[in-house]
Structure formats: C-alpha cells, structure tokens
Chain A
C-alpha cells in the first residue's frame, strides 16, 4: 500500500521568497512521484514528475523537486514566489504494480498563499 504525507495544509510566503512544499511517501516498490497544482474550481495540472534517472526534476513555472530515496521525500521548491503561484498543490505517488493500472494516491494537499 502506498501513502503520501504533505506536511502543512497551508503555507504562506512573501512574494519573491523561497517556496518549499514538503512531501513524504511510503511505497513498497520504487515509486513514480508527481506534483500537481490546482487552481480554484479547476482540474489538476502536472507540475513535474519523477520516474527514473536524475533525482532532481525540473518542472513548469520554475518549480523543481528532488527525489531522496533515503528520506522517502519529494519536496517541491521554487526560488522566488510569484503571486500567480497561489494555489493548491498535491503530491502523488503512482502504483507501478504488475496490475498496470498506475493509480495515483494523493496527499491531502497544501494551499500556498503568496503575500504581496
């Protein structure tokens, strides 16, 4: 069974400050990991993903995340927050079992507020 824990349901940062959203996972097999962003009343947009290879993954809008197997973490960062980054962020882990459905298990989400 897989699970995802996002530390902090709400994070506030000043515009221009570092954004750090934390995600820890548990998985019995090497995971595929994702970060999605959701704006109000909209679906989810993929920010970035880790499948294999380089552990530092760069995504859209200046976001990046680093897969740390020893810490079972996949924290999302952005050097300088922009007002448009205010949204809900979800970390997810994919089932890569032989069943092949590749279901996603989501964390509870972190709401990012950016203060002008």
Chain B
C-alpha cells in the first residue's frame, strides 16, 4: 500500500466550477501538508502549506486537513482555465524532513 493515495484523474470541469482534489494517507506521523501545482513540462511549484488539522485559505484556494481520517483536500473556487495543471499532495513528518508525494491529479478547466 502506498503511503499517499491520490486519484490521478483526469478531472475535467467547466470554468467557474468548484473543484475538489483529495488525498488519503496512512502514516500517522505526518504533520505538515503541502499542495504543489505542476504545469505541463514544468517543475512543481508550492501552492499551499498547512500544519496539522484544519483549514487554510489563500484566495480561491482552500486546503483542508482531517488527521483523524487521514484525509487531505484542496478546493478551488471559481476555477479558471489557468488552473489547468497537475496537483500533487505532499505530506511531511517534521519540518524539513522528506516529502512523500501523491501521484498527482490532472485537472483541466474548460472555458
């Protein structure tokens, strides 16, 4: 069993839709949770960084962590064609330790 499971998609939505991207994990020691966005043929870039359970909002993006169920979510409101990318979840045990990456979910937002 992989430590981090992520539905690879592809996921296709119309512009303006609310998008929900999810990961589950098995390692109870994970405390830090990140989401990366990767455009085609580019390196991933850090999108959201949260610690422990709860929600964090940044503009149209909301990251949610439920440690009791080992479930990580990223919500995108009012999705735009420029949000079309692969989104990778990446939990971490301690600050500065190795990241464990999910497989990534490929998202397409259609105009």
Is chain B a partner of chain A in the same complex? Answer: no
